[in-house]
Amino acid sequence: MSALSDQLVTYAILAYLVAMISHAVEYALGNARAVPAKAAAPARELVGAGVGGVGGTVDEPAAPAVTRPGRSGARAELAGRVAGWLTALAVALHLGALVTRGIAAERMPWGNMYEFVLTVTWIGSAAWLAVLVKRPQLRRLGLFLTLVMVLLLAFAELKLYVQVTPLMPALQSYWFIIHVSTIVFASGIFLLGVVPATAYLLRSGWEQGRRSFPYTLAKRLPGAAGLERLTFTLHAFAFPIFTFAVIAGAIWAEAAWGRAWGWDPKETWAFISWVVYAGYLHARATPSMKRSVATWISILGFATMLMNLFGVNFFFTGLHSYAGV
């Protein structure tokens, strides 16, 4: 089962990669204008001579112009649909990798950093499919989402991979399910949320007349207002879950170590992330605050999450040193 899980992760990465290429084709060919159909030559009507009249011909009024979708637009639509189906395939393979990893370990697959990253990225991808079903007009965001998936999964495979091992004694508690499941879920939604946040900053810059790189990348993205609303919705949904996860972790720490909070590096960065995301929601609800400023705060929040996931495990030691690398 462990070997099968490893193979499924590789296949998932390849599926995400091909989906990303398909999205890139859609992005490159998108916004193709309709091609005018060839208009028929105006009919000429014979006018007979009569009293006060002159023989000859007159032109009838021209028929209205007819347009048909250009080939580039049709190809972009096809590439986008293919990208969506490939993303769904990648998510299924991704889930299979998690399930087989859990079966091999005889526990939930969250015992080390490698498994944590696999789960967080799957949550983000699955949530993206849910968004795509509800709001298909946002499909071009899939280019950036699949890029993030390829980078994170490849990094997990190359740098974080560890063999399947039993759960260490400190984690053998029912709080492991409660705390880790909620922190994983919230992290996956925050991961998805940073994609429209970044896209919104690029698109809003384009709509404000900035034509320099990287704003030119955004000219074919959905409208800035829709991207900003999606960013807020995802963060407003994830923040209460993240808050519960932090509280559950404090209760577990009280039961396991005799203190609810000890400013361990991971605890400290979790608190920093909570403050930053709370600051984002407060800024978003403040009418005088620019939406772009609030969105930058959300991106800062995700940077603190990355620090908590990677930086703390690589550069610090503490009671939460369960990365396995």
Confidence of residue 263 (pLDDT cuts 50, 70, 90): confident
Residue 260 pLDDT exceeds 90 = no
Residue 21 pLDDT exceeds 50 = yes
Answer whether 15's CB lies under 8 Å from 82's CB. Answer: no
pLDDT of residue 319: 55
Would you call 47 helix, strand, or coil by DSSP?
strand
Phi, psi at residue 57, to the nearest 5°? Answer: -130, 155
End-to-end CA separation in angstroms for the chain? 21
Residue 33 pLDDT exceeds 70 = no
User: What single-letter DSSP state applies at residue 210?
Assistant: -
**Percent of the chain residues topping a pLDDT of 90:** 52
User: What single-letter DSSP state applies at residue 172?
Assistant: -
